[in-house]
Structure 1
Amino acid sequence: MEEKHAAANESAHAESNGVSHGADHGWQKVTYAKKQKKKTVNAANSADSRANSNKLVPNGTLSGNDGVFRSLELQSEDRRRKIVEAKKLADAAYDDEDAPLRSKQRHHDDDEYDYDDENVDRSAENGKAEEAKKVKQKKPKKPKVTVAEAAAKIDAADLGAFLVEISGSFEEQQDILMMRFTDYFGRAFSAVTASQFPWVKLFRESTVAKITDTPLSHISDAVYKTSMDWINQRSPEALSTFLIWSLDSILADLGSQQNVAKGSKKAVQQVSSKSQVAMFVVLAMVLRRKPDALISVLPTLRESTKYQGLDKLPVIVWMIAQAAVGDLSVGLYAWARNLLPIVIGKSGNPQSRDLVLQLVEKILSTPKARPVLVNSAVRKGERLIPSSAFEILVRVTFPPSSTRVKATERFEAIYPTLKEVALGGSAGSKAMKQVALQIFSFAIKAAGESMQT
């Protein structure tokens, strides 16, 4: 027995010193002397036993005496194998999704493709595309429409139907009727820009004779007659109110343009200049058809500083010229009361005197003006040229020789006709006696001033 134990120990010691680094992964197999006897029998099968040592048997154990340890190792290897296979499947799916990108990258690596150049090209293409879009987004410029072109499109029949409609709707609201009437022409001239109707420049640089027909000369006869017939049915009060309203609108536009020219940042209520075409058209028609409406607003224009000043004078002159077209006597009546006093007033200067003279010269140059005015010397109990105006006329026509100016000769030319109108009337009438007394009083006063000088 001792020999057997010794032999077994020696065998185990030998095997422990000869550590195997094979398939047993360092685990050592213990054998006994009894099994040594069977080595010869099992020698032929030893290779097969080692070959099958890692194979599973039906009961889930490993063959051989190291089955427990090998089972743990195989389970671990199986888990690692599954992890590797799952990772391969994930990599394969990622490769399929990014194949185009990798293909481009391989192309970049193989052919030394310059990716930065591609970005530059794309940026250039994008820039051209954006530039093309901007060009396409630009709205085509609208063709310029002149006052004449816009006026030619106004249909008299359409205007007549419009006037019938609003007259039925606002029969008792005359002020609203006049505004709606103006709105119709405002729409008709809405395409006319301010550059096509620079009325401020036109009034400042043109003669009174030229601006008198501006812009009414472009209105067709049919439209003009339709409008005049409708205006004739409006009340004097509504027309007088309209005159002040439209004049305020025109002067507001004048003030706005002056502020823009001066570079002022002050906010101003600005009325669109293109709407002023309609305002001038309607205002001119009202003044020509109902000139008496001007007489009722003359005191307001004369007394309010709102309507005074050299910059506003061309507009006032234009209004009186329109009334004179409708009735010469109304034109001279307004001239003598509202314009002639300016000549000797604080605002009197060569420019203002020229405008005042241009208007009266135009009135007196009208065919048959002298007989018409002389016969209308007294209008509704009032003289066209009151004694106060006649006194001013004498002073500016016959000034001291040292104060004569260029305008003096022009006053001398119109004086005979104006004197005849100022002194016109039935001889021996009460009105003539009053005029005689006023002139006599003025003559005495003038003679005293002459003696003092």
Structure 2
Amino acid sequence: MEDTFDPYLVEESSSAAAAFPAKDPDHGWQKVTYAKRQRRSSNAADPNRHHPNGLPHAGDSSHVFASVEQKALERRRALESATAVAVVAEAGTTAPRSRPAAATSDDEDDDSGAEASRGGQENGEAAKKVKQKKPKKPKVTVQEAASKIDAGDLGAFLVEVSVSYESQQDIQLMRFADYFARSFAPVSGSQFPWTKMFKESPVSKIADIPLCHISESVYKTSVDWISQKSTDALGDFVLWCLDAILSDLASLQAAARGSKKSVQQSPAKAQVAIFVVLAMTLRRKPDILINLLPTLRENPKYQGQEKLPVIVWAIAQVSQGDFAIGMYLWAHFLLPLICGKLSGNPQSRDLVLQLAERILSGPKARPILLNGAVRKGERLIPPAALDLLMRASFPSPNARVKATERFEAVYPTLKELALAGSPGTKSTKQASQQLLPAAVKAMQENNPELTREAADIFIWCLAQNPDCYKLWEKLHLENMNASVAILQKLSSEWKDYSTKLSPPDALRETLKHLRAKTRRMMDSSAPYVILGVLYAYLLSLSWTPDTLRMMFASKYWLPELPGIAKMFANEMTLASAWIHLLAVDLFAARQVFDDGLKNKVETRHSVSLCLFFCPIGIATHAITKVLTKMSTQSH
């Protein structure tokens, strides 16, 4: 800014200096002043410098930004009031952030403050701006927000919604969820970290979240209203809730991985409301999830290790409403997951086993489950699930894991549920016909514990359904080891099984048929015919003119050792020799078995040795006959 002199003041000073030279201590020098600055000071001190309408005079430059500052202050107050109204009015949506607006108004304040500061500096005064911190909003917990929900107000709201949207139940359910979204709007995401809770907390704890904070009166009002809605509308509503939760889960995981992919995310404060309304719906109408079971199985949206805790939580809500339906969903959906796709994941096994243990440990759970062991013709524990449980509870010794003991603990009760029912009923017959082949297959796996358990289930099938005896006859020849294991168990524990298999006429007839089939197989010449044809074919391939010349190279047409060695170096010749030995061993084993039946001598070890090396098997059989005869004579 240029400094200007007032000529009138300078002239006046000069004349004064000439008139009073003796009295002037400054010797005629006059102090230089700035006219503009003086005019500003005088204007600032003048209280009547404004027009009657409140605006400053045109020449008043000291407060030229006063109107701008006033408008900025008004805008800021308007934005703050709009923000407060939006927080209360908007249901289930994130309140508009006030930070950008505040920043804008702060910038305007900074501009006006800077102008005022410049004016102060020109007057020689440094004006310092003091920023006031906004008071922090108090954090509201889920429990505090839930305690403010009034059952009477909720009931009146639901009545109004039911009347307004009488024929649109889907909109009614959305408004129902919207009511709770408004109620939990003050709750921040940090007060409900559901992903962390589901990951770190046991099933027994997460099963009650967040309904443990809802009052009994609010819960009763809600579930009574839910019970009046149709199954289709509730099914769509449950899927909508699950989709919202899984969408929020996907967005959180993407944020944790630093992914730039945008995912539609529900506000964190709305998640509390979604969990609340979903839990109340599943507890009041647990059979809804059974209707949705095909969707959960087929749609990849609901599959995966990271989504399993949400599904387990949902089934836990169902089990709170109905033990039997909860166990049905566990056996039909969760158990195949941990025995199939997620079999190698210990966390998944732990979650699923926790849910089973929670259901079975409930008050009067066993009688309730046994009462509903068969639901609309379907068993709570289907035969396929019992087969999975049996293999998980009785694995081979080198395949045992930490969860094996927990499977063993729940197996007896679950087996009782799988085999529950009156003999001869339709469901029991169907279960026995499905279980018998699975038991036969399990007995072929060379696992003693599994074989004993499978044999017990096999005998249960015989006791429940006479048709299983015919099925046994069909499977006998292809599964001789299984038949042997069953007969051994029957002979060793006949006292226990005699009452279950009474009258034993069907068993007696079946044993006769099995013996006849075994005899026909042993008397049949078909194996020898097949081996003979195969032997002749290989022999024709190996005995070529070149082979004959090597064998009979001497003039006397006698085989020589070098020629024999060259001949057996041929793969075809070696294979034909092996077939020949196998035919001889099989014939010897057959003869040993027949001789054992006639003389009532144990032949299993002798037959095995015959198939390994014929002479040793025959010698062993002879020794066994002698020892058996001596033992019989001594007794």
TM-score normalised by the chain length of structure 1: 0.72
Q: Could you say if the C-alpha distance between residues 342 and 122 of structure 1 is closer, same or farther in structure 2, counting changes exceeding 3 Å?
A: farther
1:446 pairs with one of 442, 449, 460: 442
Aligned residues, how many? 344
1:244 pairs with one of 239, 243, 266: 239
Aligned counterpart, 2:427: 431
Q: Could you say if the C-alpha distance between residues 322 and 123 of structure 1 is closer, same or farther in structure 2, counting changes exceeding 3 Å?
A: farther
- Find the residue that maps to 1:449 and give its secondary structure: coil
Q: For the pair shown, which has the larger CA radius of gyration, 1 or 2?
A: 1
The alpha carbon displacement at 1:208 in A equals 0.2
* In 2: Cα distance, 1:222 partner to 1:123 partner: 66
- Find the residue that maps to 1:256 and give its secondary structure: helix
After TM superposition, the structure 1 = structure 2 runs for residues 211-290 of structure 1, keeping only pairs within 5 Å, are 211-290=206-285
Determine whether 1:165 maps to 2:160.
Answer: yes
- Find the residue that maps to 1:332 and give its secondary structure: helix
Aligned counterpart, 1:181: 176
* In 1: Cα distance, 2:10 partner to 2:230 partner: 91
Determine whether 1:154 maps to 2:146.
Answer: no
* In 1: Cα distance, 2:10 partner to 2:296 partner: 90
- Find the residue that maps to 1:428 and give its secondary structure: coil
* In 2: Cα distance, 1:229 partner to 1:439 partner: 42
Aligned counterpart, 2:338: 343
Aligned counterpart, 1:397: 393
Paired residues of 2:139 and 2:188 also in contact (CA < 8 A): yes
* In 2: Cα distance, 1:248 partner to 1:93 partner: 85
The alpha carbon displacement at 1:241 in A equals 0.7
Aligned counterpart, 2:138: 143
After TM superposition, the structure 1 = structure 2 runs for residues 9-408 of structure 1, keeping only pairs within 5 Å, are 101-102=34-35, 119=121, 124-125=126-127, 128-129=128-129, 132=130, 135-136=131-132, 138-348=133-343, 349-408=345-404
Q: Which runs of 5+ in 1 are unaligned?
A: 1-89, 106-115
Q: Could you say if the C-alpha distance between residues 241 and 103 of structure 1 is closer, same or farther in structure 2, counting changes exceeding 3 Å?
A: closer
Runs of 4+ in 1 over 4 A off after TM superposition: 90-96, 120-123
The alpha carbon displacement at 1:347 in A equals 2.1
* In 2: Cα distance, 1:284 partner to 1:331 partner: 14
Paired residues of 2:378 and 2:427 also in contact (CA < 8 A): no
* In 2: Cα distance, 1:393 partner to 1:194 partner: 40
- Find the residue that maps to 1:366 and give its secondary structure: coil
2:418 pairs with one of 422, 431, 439: 422
Q: What letter is aligned with 2:175?
A: R
* In 2: Cα distance, 1:204 partner to 1:181 partner: 29
* In 2: Cα distance, 1:103 partner to 1:235 partner: 84
* In 2: Cα distance, 1:341 partner to 1:95 partner: 109
* In 2: Cα distance, 1:121 partner to 1:384 partner: 90
The alpha carbon displacement at 1:302 in A equals 1.4
Q: Which runs of 5+ in 2 are unaligned?
A: 1-5, 13-31, 39-117, 448-480, 482-635
* In 2: Cα distance, 1:323 partner to 1:271 partner: 24
The alpha carbon displacement at 1:381 in A equals 1.3
Moved more, 427-436 or 288-297: 427-436
Q: What letter is aligned with 2:183?
A: A
* In 2: Cα distance, 1:434 partner to 1:272 partner: 50
Higher relative contact order (CA 8 A, sep 6+): 1
* In 1: Cα distance, 2:11 partner to 2:335 partner: 101
* In 1: Cα distance, 2:11 partner to 2:158 partner: 81
Paired residues of 2:203 and 2:313 also in contact (CA < 8 A): yes
The alpha carbon displacement at 1:449 in A equals 2.7
Q: What letter is aligned with 1:184?
A: Y
- Find the residue that maps to 1:450 and give its secondary structure: coil
* In 2: Cα distance, 1:248 partner to 1:423 partner: 37
Q: CA RMSD in A?
A: 2.5
The alpha carbon displacement at 1:102 in A equals 3.4
Aligned counterpart, 1:45: none
The alpha carbon displacement at 1:388 in A equals 1.0
The alpha carbon displacement at 1:303 in A equals 1.5
Q: Could you say if the C-alpha distance between residues 321 and 91 of structure 1 is closer, same or farther in structure 2, counting changes exceeding 3 Å?
A: same
- Find the residue that maps to 1:448 and give its secondary structure: coil
Percent identical: 60
The alpha carbon displacement at 1:121 in A equals 8.3
The alpha carbon displacement at 1:140 in A equals 2.0
